[in-house]
Amino acid sequence: MNSLFELYSTHQGKVSDKWGIYLPTYDRIFLPYRNKPVLLLEVGVQNGGSLEIWSKYFTQAQKLIGCDINPACAALKYADPRVAIVVGDANTDLAERQISIHAQHFDIVIDDGSHRSSDIIKTFARYFPKVVDGGVFVAEDLHCSYWQEFEGGLHDPYSSMSFFKLLADVVNHEHWGAHQKRGELTKGIAKRYGVTLHEELLSCIHSVEFVNSICVIRKQRCSDNQLGERIVTGQLALVSSDALKVAKEHSVPLNQSTNYWTTLERPPGELVKDYEYTIAERDGQIVRAHSSPKCNGVDDSGPVRLKVK
């Protein structure tokens, strides 16, 4: 089988544009799917060349669907009947219905759309539920997540990268040691972008992998995502016999109900603006107090206590 790089190197059809590191990464990630009747959705196709290449790469593919908001994509035609184009905003109900005409679920979803944080998170919330168990969701070009022009920044708590980092904690939910649901961690971002991330959906996230500008989220049944029992093998414990005592045990998290960093209502990054507002408000009170003959009854002799709005 030709590698993805070889297919790109010899491609003569419609133009496709991918960064160099993506090709070997996709070869590794998609290898288990190459000879299967995959259903693939790619959001953002531009000139449409990637769909031609995917048709050569996934020779047994059942359906390869591209969705793009650019009306010019309506002119894209393919000789391969397995390839279909949907013109529209993938994050609308209309486009989703048009996509569902071709396929109700997917083995692979690739987001190569606007690269704006809001769109990436909305696409994940809308189409990850349609990914089958054992399937993958891939977000491309996440370097845009570090740029304000694409609704991002290195420490922006609502960027797509911040969102995917939170999903890495979701994978380890059983070890939090507090009575918090997975959705509580992502509720700030969900509210910001008007999306719904059900607890059941979040429990199906098996792994979150980062490669330069790419995030790969794998989906499995919730039962397949647990740490499981401790497997101990062998008979000679010459250094410590403790391991022999824990065979078949399950991990029990330490109680973190009094851990400040566990019991925060929201991720720290989301609180920064609240703290800035509270500090500015308090500073204004202090200035006004010092400018008043009677200090307006404000006692500034002790430490300032901040209350987050």
Would you please indicate which residues are annotated as catalytic (active-site) residues?
115
Tell the residue number behind the tokens 């960064």, with chain if given: 19
Instruction: Please give the single-letter amino acid code of residue 143.
Output: H
